Structure 1
Amino acid sequence: MLDIKWIRAYPKLFDQGLRLRGLDPKSEELLELDSAHRKSLSKFQEIRGKRNSIAKEIARYKQDGKDTVDLVQESSALSEQECILERQTQKLSDQLRKFLESFPNMLDEHVPVGASEADNVILKKWGNPRDFLEFSPKDHEDLGANLGMDFVQASKMSGARFVILAKELAQLERALSCWMLDMNTQRLGCLEVHTPCLVKEDSVFGAGQLPKLEQDLFKTTDGRYLIATGEVTLLNLVRETILDFKNLPLKFTAYTPCFRSEAGAAGKDTKGMIRMHQFEKVELLGVCDPKDSQELHLSFLEQEEFLMQTLGLPYRVVALCSSDVGWTSQRTYDIEVWLPGQSCYREISSCSNCGAYQSRRTDTRYRTKDGELEYPYTLNGSALPTGRTLVAILENYQNSDGSVTIPEVLRPYMGGKKSLTPSDHRAIYNV
């Protein structure tokens, strides 16, 4: 959530920030509402002050045996005004709060300006796409059919956009999660946590997914939500707390299931595992002093690149342009992996600096060296989603006989196995 004091001081910058995201300027409308709220609040406080003064005067009159009829009548009239102003002020306060909650984060000055994802900027490429000289590469769905990837039974069980992984493929997914968590804790110094995947509305709001992304979330009958990303629960580990600058930065990692209705993606990526209603992801989240946020952002990006390079997956790093940066983010880098079965790069990971946007919404603060209370910056990154990483491994490490070579770094987590061996897809569970 944005700071109304900053908007009062820099209304033109606020409108400029909205325009960069393709939105209409709103400073005039917002500041009119803010002014009305402040005037109403000031009048309410003035009336309450007068009534409190009269109450004290009435007490003195009674103590001195004086007549209090006129004062009581004046106090009664002021009380009626106070009640009216209190309701009016609260209504304006609610309207102002909801208006502020409807705005996206302001973008970092280094974000490239663009009208669509076509204007995203490629910053670097790593690795060369493999040359398939002996055979034509298959996509992961065709490969997976004989390796334990089952969309048919999953559809019978849960509907479209679900998958069952069995046999060595299920083991590989587990190996990926264990290895990524080990790397995030050992190499980056993250605290590993295991969190709920069902949360209250306030938790989702704090992460900035409400009200903007309501349609993409699964909501239970008791008003709670299934998390769309581990970012939600990791962020809420420190909600409504006051942190000490000596303990910053905080770095968390978790492996969580994620649930997305994909309401805004009808007809998009319906084939295979690219866009699922349920998927698993290893998440990174950082909380830091604002001055350290760029360094932490780059360290998260470097960790994601390390994981990709260690797996030997060709990728490119992309700086998202102004119209493509997520609602809560100031600046975002994407990592896109090469998928030979689709002959293109596809997003596999993101890494975002959210500034103080989320800490304001969760009322997370820290005490500075000078003893002042400030809002810390929060950052998040996928390191990595196991499903899309599994897709990338299948397509990049496939062999002509339908087997898939297991990346060397994962073999200790696979009991020393070197490859996934295909079998008749009709006998997945009959072994």
Structure 2
Amino acid sequence: MQFIDRTKVTVKAGDGGHGKSAFRREKFVPKGGPSGGDGGRGADIIFVVDNNMNTLLDFRFHHKFVGKNGEKGEIKNCYGHAGEPCYVKVPQGTIIKDEATGEVLADLTEIGQEVVIAKGGRGGRGNAKFSTSANRAPTFAEFGEPGEAKNLLLELKLLADVGLVGYPSVGKSSIISMVSAARPEIADYHFTTITPVLGVVSLGEEHSFVMADIPGLIEGAAEGVGLGHDFLRHVERTKVIIHVLDASGIEGRDPVEDYHKINHELKKYSERIAKRPQVIAANKMDLPEARENYEKLQKLAQAEGVKIFPVSAATNDGLQALMECVSQMLDEYIEEPEVIEEVKIYEPAIEEDITISRNMSGEFVVSGKALEKLVAMTNFNNDEALRRFQYIWRVKGIEQKLKERGVKQGDTVHIMDMEFEYKE
């Protein structure tokens, strides 16, 4: 199966339904009051973790999700129906980021976990809601509020118990193919594995774990060199690391140096990853060159305080003992407490103050989320609605701010897509 671990999607929550402008027209009820109902709320976009998904491949073909709009309000104060929530299924371990800012909106780690990523717009109020003692028969109603729209980046971090790390071509793919049913591509060249491969290692009843053969790491990966961050992102959630070294050194590298270089990259990327329990797998022990290097690796393991196992993925020697040790390490593993500084909690942005700027033509541009929402929900073809907008315009001090910026009679002013000529 092809493994897709990063993709982009667009979401658009449903708009709120328009409010209704209506009056009672019943027999024997003269001068019936306003009876227009409110519009229904637009559909939220909700991401949910689905146990039947394990990749982001589906999003390659379906990358736009649009929620249903709320229904319009009706006569006799009847409200419109709200739009049914739009659920987007994702695999366990998915991180959702705002593409524009890089902000983490959600980190979905539990089966069934849900999060509202884009909120549906509020339904517009019917004219019955605007009835006051001064105006008992308002003729206007609000349009529905637009739903939130976002461009998202989805990233999938593998939720493997054990991660195989090491330089390219040290034999990680061969090891996982021998101890599990996984069948990664294997060849005598670097970066054969370019996407993570998962395999389940079974050591009898209630003694199984998930192992990830992760793309080869090279020097500079913490800065994104080579497969860099694509590799390190998948190591983050493993509990135990099997550090695979080529004991034969036939690639012309020193396995002791390889060990230190890779741990240096892990530490640069994350102190928490570097502290994960490790065990060394000295691979390719079937080759005669490995014996001399193994003595050096034994001294290294003793100095580092880690266990070492001589193994051969080609002959299957030593792999059973290695897997049993790893299983025991998992049983003894104690989860580290989360570092609060690393966790970002998504909260809706606070509506900023109204700002006034000028475009390339020298025309005035008024912006601000609260004002833009008001514009979107106002029916400017209705005189009463227009007067209400003008009243709010004055209360917010926008006219005064325009004067301070030097607006003159006849100047053009823009708010979103609306354009009008300024008059005193």
TM range (shorter): under 0.3
Max Rg structure: 2
TM-score w.r.t. the length of structure 2 is 0.20
Q: Which has the higher helix share?
A: 1
More contact order relative to length (CA 8 Å, sep ≥ 6):
1
TM-score w.r.t. the length of structure 1 is 0.20
